[in-house]
């Protein structure tokens, strides 16, 4: 067996195990989190709270989060999903009926990319707000696998895209200033 085959088998086993997790509080809470994360509503709401209650730091954190989230979404949904076609996990893995099962490519998780991109960028400006955003971001990532929308590797790559978007968001203003000074 090759390393790639081993990784794919492990990804499938972990995905199947996560979709079969039957803890009732999670079964009730995860769909609520997923609905809040649809169309990035959760992150726009967090940005609004930061702007309204966080002063200058809140405004900077919200701006960094929104820009990073936008970059992460463009890269994950607009570029990578278009280049890399991957089927969603099998419907039979999911014990509950999922009414709005996506039909786009499974790879990567755009929800996770947006959540991690927003959270990591916020954390770079306002660590406390970033820590608070990290909890729902982690729940969103786990929910995407639990709901059978993604394999764990889709979520991991989505998280890497989000982290990269946040790093770029923090680095871009410095690079622009350097370029202007030359």
Q: Which residue has the higher pLDDT, 42 or 103?
A: 42
CB atoms inside a 10 Å sphere around CB 3: 7
Q: Judge whether residue 181 has pLDDT over 60.
A: no
Q: Judge whether residue 123 has pLDDT over 70.
A: yes
Question: Which residue segments constitute the domains of the chain, with CATH numbers given?
Answer: 3-181 (1.20.144)
Q: Judge whether residue 29 has pLDDT over 90.
A: no
What is the model's pLDDT at position 177? 47
Q: Which residues are within 8 A (CB) of 103 and not within 5 positions of it... i.e. 6 or more apart?
A: 88
* DSSP H helix total and E strand total for the chain: 8, 0
What is the model's pLDDT at position 70? 93
Per-residue pLDDT of 81-117, as tens digits, reads: 888 888 877 777 766 655 566 777 778 999 999 999 9
Q: Are 168 and 123 in contact (CB under 8 A)?
A: no
Q: Residue 178 corresponds to which tokens in the numbers above?
A: 């350097």
Pairwise CA distance, residues 113 & 135, whole Å = 15
Q: Are 139 and 150 in contact (CB under 8 A)?
A: no
Q: Are 123 and 129 in contact (CB under 8 A)?
A: yes
Backbone angles phi, psi at 157, to 5 degrees: -70, -35
What is the model's pLDDT at position 101? 64
Q: Residue 160 corresponds to which tokens in the numbers above?
A: 């890497």
**pLDDT band at 26, cuts 50/70/90?**
low
Backbone angles phi, psi at 173, to 5 degrees: -60, -40
What is the model's pLDDT at position 100? 62
Backbone angles phi, psi at 13, to 5 degrees: -60, -45
What is the model's pLDDT at position 168? 92
Q: Are 174 and 181 in contact (CB under 8 A)?
A: no
Closest CA to 105 of 151, 146, 72, 172: 151
Question: Whole-model pTM?
Answer: 0.84
């Amino acid at each position: 067996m090759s390393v790639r085959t081993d990784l794919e088998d492990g990804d499938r086993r972990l995905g199947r195990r996560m979709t079969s997790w039957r803890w009732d509080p999670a079964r009730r809470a995860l769909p609520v989190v997923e609905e809040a994360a649809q169309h990035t509503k959760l992150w726009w709401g967090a940005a609004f709270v930061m702007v309204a209650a966080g002063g200058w730091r809140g405004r900077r954190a919200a701006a960094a989060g929104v820009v990073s989230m936008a970059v992460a979404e463009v890269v994950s949904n607009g570029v990578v999903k278009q280049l890399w076609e991957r089927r969603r996990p099998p419907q039979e893995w999911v014990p509950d009926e999922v009414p709005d099962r996506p039909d786009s490519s499974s790879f990567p998780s755009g929800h996770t990319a947006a959540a991690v991109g927003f959270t990591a960028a916020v954390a770079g400006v306002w660590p406390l707000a970033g820590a608070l955003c990290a909890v729902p971001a982690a729940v969103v990532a786990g929910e995407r696998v639990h709901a059978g929308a993604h394999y764990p590797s889709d979520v991991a790559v989505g998280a890497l895209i989000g982290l990269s978007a946040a790093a770029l968001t923090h680095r871009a203003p410095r690079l622009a200033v350097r370029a202007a000074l030359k």
